[in-house]
Every structure is written in C-alpha cells, then in structure tokens.
C-alpha cells in the first residue's frame, strides 16, 4: 500500500458490490478484504484507484454513537465530499464509470480553469470527479 497523507475511508451499503463497481469503473485493484463476524458485511477493505489507496467498509449503524451524522450517503442524505482523480483521459474515465452504472453530475467539458473535467455519483452515493490538464492532452 502506497503511503499517503490522507486516505479516504468510505462507509457503504453494499461494500462488496462497491468493490466490484470500482474495479470495473475505475480499474481499482483490491488489496485487502476483512469480513465482519456476521459473515454478510465487510469490516474493512483496501483498494488502489489511480495509484492511491481508498479504504471502505459496510455500514454498521449499530456502532454509531448517538447524535452522529455518519453513514453511507443514502442513510445520511447525501455527501459533503467529492473524491477527485487526476487522470490521463477525463472522457475515458467518465465513459467507463457511466457504463459501469454511475450517474452523471457533470459531463466532460473544457473547464475555465484549464482542465477537462467531469463529475459522477457512484451507485452507492459517493461523488467522484475526473480531470486532466487541457495542455497535457493537446
């Protein structure tokens, strides 16, 4: 696992299905999978996506402390973070994610700040964006 300053840790309803989606949509590589004692959920999993590590686990609402607003996007009513990927070809990453079942937020376009940029939501409610510098593809 590559060292990183920040590793996102996603709370997901259906972590095993999410891993399959990330492999198909983002070319993820599964590094580790730890099942929970109930045999149905994943306590922890680690992936690499585009050279970076991402952790994920199934939702365990029985272990959330009272008053916490923590859980998978469908349970908490959305997300406040977009996971951004700097990629070699924004359009290709976007197309692959859409074919795998993502929902379009913003189609690929030439953004005013100089990137080719797109944004999607995965089937589990997490927001992702893709970009490459326009000068890099010219």
Kindly state whether residue 9 falls inside one of the protein's structural domains.
yes
Residue-wise pLDDT tens digits, 20-74: 999 999 999 999 999 999 989 999 999 999 999 999 999 988 877 666 667 788 7
Kindly state whether residue 77 falls inside one of the protein's structural domains.
no
Kindly state whether residue 8 falls inside one of the protein's structural domains.
yes
Kindly state whether residue 66 falls inside one of the protein's structural domains.
no
User: Structural domain of residue 122, as residue ranges?
Assistant: 82-138
Q: How far is CA 136 from CA 3, 96, 108, 109, in A?
A: 26, 21, 16, 15
Kindly state whether residue 123 falls inside one of the protein's structural domains.
yes
Number of domains in the chain: 2
Whether residue 43 is found in the same domain as residue 86: no
Q: How far apart are CA 117 and CA 130, in angstroms?
A: 6
| Helical (H) or strand (E) element with 36 | none
pLDDT at 74: 79
């Amino acid at each position: 696992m590559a060292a990183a300053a920040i590793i996102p840790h996603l709370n997901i309803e259906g972590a095993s299905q999410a891993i399959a989606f990330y492999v198909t949509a983002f070319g993820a590589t599964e590094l580790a999978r730890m099942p929970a004692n109930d045999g149905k959920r994943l306590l922890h999993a680690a992936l690499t996506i585009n050279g970076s590590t991402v952790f994920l686990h199934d939702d365990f609402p029985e272990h959330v402390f009272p008053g916490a607003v923590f859980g998978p996007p469908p349970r908490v009513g959305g997300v406040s973070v977009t996971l951004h990927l700097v990629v070699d070809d924004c359009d290709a990453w976007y197309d692959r994610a859409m074919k795998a079942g993502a929902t379009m937020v913003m189609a690929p376009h030439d953004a005013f700040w100089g990137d080719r940029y797109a944004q999607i939501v995965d089937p589990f409610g997490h927001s992702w964006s893709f970009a490459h510098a326009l000068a890099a593809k010219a």
